[in-house]
Structure 1
Amino acid sequence: MPRAAASRARSPRCRCSCTPAPPPRTPAPGSAAASAPASHIRSAGGDHLLAMVCVGAWGAQLGAPLRLALPVAFPLMMVAGAALALWGLPMAAVESGIALSVLALGACIACRWRAPVWAACALVAGFALLHGYAHGCELPVAADPAGYSLGFVLATGLLHVLGIGIGELGVRVSGAALRGFGAAVAAVGAGFLYSALSA
């Protein structure tokens, strides 16, 4: 195999914009390509899952209006990030940024950071752009882009709802337990970040 082809074969998902994606095909009814939100949750990595849950939990910890604003902003910006990937626009350090999002969001919960509305929304939107870009890079060849996008947006919403439930439970029952959850997520995120930077 030529050196250039071998390099592309080893490229991580965040560098997918280097090569044009093949045109998507419309999936047959009932096929795996037209996947339900549950299948997107199963296929998402642990870094994606933890970040999405933390968005809901942190929003619940912060209270109104961020209880709803953060879970709404995240999927909207994910769609924007996926569109950038599908258009072939480059984005650097996607994997490291996703790992950092787990660390940062967990730390926000652990430290109970009462971020201003604009700061919390900006932080979540920036991380969501990276997550969406990674999803766009992983678009299955046989998937319908619109259906796939709808699936991961719905899956993200379900994970946000789970996070809101965890956050509300922590706020009402044990704030210390909620902060402990955030600290544990931040520790896992630090491991993700180390692995991403070492790759």
Structure 2
Amino acid sequence: MRKPIVLSLVALSMAAPALAHPGHEASGFVHPFTGLDHFAAMIGVGMWAGLLALRRPAAALLVPLAFLVMMAVGAAAGFAGIKLPLVEAFILASVFVIGGLVMGAVRLPAAWAMVIVGLFAFFHGYAHAQEAPAAGAGGYILGFMVATAVLQAAGLALAWSVRRLAGDLGVRAVGGAMMAAGALVIVAH
């Protein structure tokens, strides 16, 4: 019983220094690590993909890839100057929804999971583009795409590791910790 709690606290403490958009740095790679909302959602996508891969192994690749593709589409919309309402609300919702899907061990078909993460990814990409520096957009995009892939891979590894150490209950506890991270973002704003 203590393993899931300890693992949840470890996962949450890893994200603690990243409190919601402290600066608009020039490095796209650094950006996903500087906001607890982005960090938790991207780790969560990897974790949920890891859960889904138990039944359909291709989900480990398809779900994170859908996130990356739609994040690029969202970034393109942001760079094109398209104005979207409720961007931060969708990003925050992604933390709660994806955390809830992990906590509930919800196993949808990979196609539906791709649609869900794709919707949220669009807004994450849009926000990244809105926070990009005026010069060097190409490198910035490449940076946040690589960082997102790294975080998703970490989420996959975390799901598999926690599942081996603490079973489904441990994975669910980490999903709960993601939802707690969403609450921290609300409090920090």
TM range, normalised to the smaller chain?
0.7 to 0.9
Q: Aligned-pair RMSD on alpha carbons?
A: 2.0
- Cα distance in 1 for partners of 2:86, 2:31 equals 23
- Cα distance in 1 for partners of 2:105, 2:47 equals 11
1:83-102 to 2 correspondences below 5 Å: 83-102=76-95
- Whether the 8 Å contact between 1:99 and 1:190 is mirrored in structure 2 is no
Under a length normalisation based on structure 2, what TM-score does the superposition of the two structures give? 0.79
Larger Rg: 1
- 1:171: how far off? 2.6
- Cα distance in 2 for partners of 1:124, 1:181 equals 18
- 1:191: how far off? 4.7
1:41-56 to 2 correspondences below 5 Å: 41-42=32-33, 44-56=34-46
Flag as ranges the 4+ runs of structure 1 deviating above 3 A.
Answer: none
- 1:190: how far off? 4.0
Does residue 176 (structure 1) correspond to residue 180 (structure 2)? The answer is: no
Does residue 160 (structure 1) correspond to residue 136 (structure 2)? The answer is: no
Which residue identity lines up with residue 62 of structure 1 in the other structure?
L
Task: Report the number of matched residues.
Answer: 162
Residue aligning to 1:40: 31
| CA displacement 1:49-79 (0-9 Å, x = unmatched) | 0000000011011111211111111111111
Which residue identity lines up with residue 47 of structure 2 in the other structure?
A
- 1:166: how far off? 0.4
- Whether the 8 Å contact between 2:60 and 2:156 is mirrored in structure 1 is yes
1:106 to 76, 89, 99: 99
- Cα distance in 1 for partners of 2:28, 2:84 equals 28
Under a length normalisation based on structure 1, what TM-score does the superposition of the two structures give? 0.75
Residue aligning to 2:49: 59
- Whether the 8 Å contact between 1:61 and 1:171 is mirrored in structure 2 is no
- 1:149: how far off? 0.6
1:134 to 127, 131, 134: 127
- Cα distance in 2 for partners of 1:98, 1:60 equals 21
The answer for unaligned runs of 5 or more in structure 2 is 1-20
1:66-85 to 2 correspondences below 5 Å: 66-85=59-78
